[in-house]
Amino acid sequence: MRKVILPIVIVLLTLQICSFAVPPYYGNEIPIISSTKQFSFGFTFLSYEKYTIQSEEEYFIYELGVFSKYIPNKSVELSFYIPYLLMSNVNDYGILGDIKIFSKFALFSDLFQFIDTIYFNNSLVVNVSLATGEKREDGYRNIGLDKGLYYPISSGYSDLDIGITSGLVFTYFSFFTSVVFISSSSKTEPPLAFNTENDSFKVGFTSEIFLFTSKNISIKPFLELTLIIPVSDKSKFLNSNVVGFGIWAKIVDSFVLKAGYYQNLNKIIDERYVGNIISTSFEYRF
């Protein structure tokens, strides 16, 4: 029994820093929280594909972000993220985006044997988006004779995300699911007004393969499927089916690199539409 459990224990040790502090726009939540106290900081770069409404000209919003994560114990994970946004093809110095505060609380975990040794984990996710970015009506920029829009990357209004994420970690791969309710405020709705017409659900499925695991280097390709389901036509987010893939790497137990590509399969002519995303991040753990 000891020989059987040993590989999964090695895998779990590498998972101590795989919990990404800042899920990308289409990225999914995962339930794993480090079993050891830690503090980390990092940087992100993201590229969002968008289209002008009249001419359907492609343009991009670039996001430069800084984040920090603190884990006081194996049951709590806290982090914040500060983004700065730039729009292509415009004479613009950029804007501050919506600052985000992330929190994760472990609910239940267990290690059991069924064909393979399996680690089950379940967590509560509570995220808050602060109204620090530009509002929708202020986020337009001239692109030739047409206009681009920072919204919904920057909304200028508060969001509250509440969800549950669960996962199964096997010896050579893992599988995670998440269901998150996104409560979005608007110009006519203050935070926590419980008017659901601006709200959405995000359902995610994530799978990782432990391609290489050692004391100094760990490499994991990942695949994600994300479904964004708006409550109404007025919702902040459009109906989206997104497929993402990428790679996660840990080096010398302190450096974490992650790169991903996300493709939105539902192209809709709407100023809220966000197309494909390239996401990269660097994290250093103390």
Q: What was the pLDDT predicted at 89?
A: 87
Q: What is the mean pLDDT of residues 83-96?
A: 92
Q: What was the pLDDT predicted at 44?
A: 93
Does residue 236 carry a pLDDT above 50?
yes
Residues 241, 227 contacting (CB under 8 angstroms): yes
Enumerate the H helices of the chain as residue ranges. Answer: 2-14
Tell me the percentage of the chain whose pLDDT exceeds 70.
87
Domain that holds residue 41: 2-285
Mean pLDDT of the chain: 85
Which CATH number characterizes residue 279's domain?
2.40.160.40
Tell me how many domains the chain contains. Answer: 1
Express each pLDDT in 161-187 by its tens digit. Answer: 999 999 988 888 899 999 999 888 776
Give pTM, 2 decimals: 0.87
DSSP 9: H
Helix, strand, coil content of the chain in percent (nearest 5): 10, 55, 35
